[in-house]
Amino acid sequence: MGARRALHSLTICVVGLTLAGCGAHDADGAADAAEQLYTAAKGGDGAAACEWLSADTREQLEQDEQKPCLEAIVALELSGSRSTKTSAYITEAKVDLDGGDSVFLEETPSGWRVTAAGCKPVPDQEAPYECEVES
């Protein structure tokens, strides 16, 4: 069974950040991090891909898949390679990729790190996205 779960609290977070009137902050850095993760994972470089995950997301992936991150990340069904739209708010960002996936990130002292990847919108559901991996 995959690590697919809905992002219930994400709606509250994104709406709250939008209502706060926060401007974009380093959207290019967030897009680059998402693209780097996808390039590494799809290229079979699990070690490089795992470097782009937040610590919590890495732990959750290993727990959900019962294998090391570097093996689990390359087995995920990730779609896309280039960003088509990026929204960044203070220390949170959402990157939409050309394959239909959305990626959620947080800015850390080490730069942007992915908190959820392989996310697809779920129409007419309680949760807005279903993701392959999330913290």
**30 near 88, Cβ under 8 Å?**
yes
Is the residue at 126 inside a domain? Answer: yes
Give dist(CA 24, CA 89) in Å, integer.
5
The whole model's pTM is what?
A: 0.81
- Provide the token pair at 1: 């069974």
Judged on CB neighbours under 10 Å (0-12, 13-18, 19+), 125 is exposed
The per-residue pLDDT string of the chain (135 residues; one tens digit each, 9 = 90 and over) reads: 444 444 433 433 443 344 333 434 589 999 999 999 999 999 999 999 999 999 999 999 999 999 999 999 999 999 999 999 999 999 999 999 999 999 999 999 999 999 999 999 988 777 789 999 999
Quote the number of domains for the chain: 1
CATH classification of the domain holding 104 = 3.10.450
- Note down the domain range covering 71: 5-14+24-134
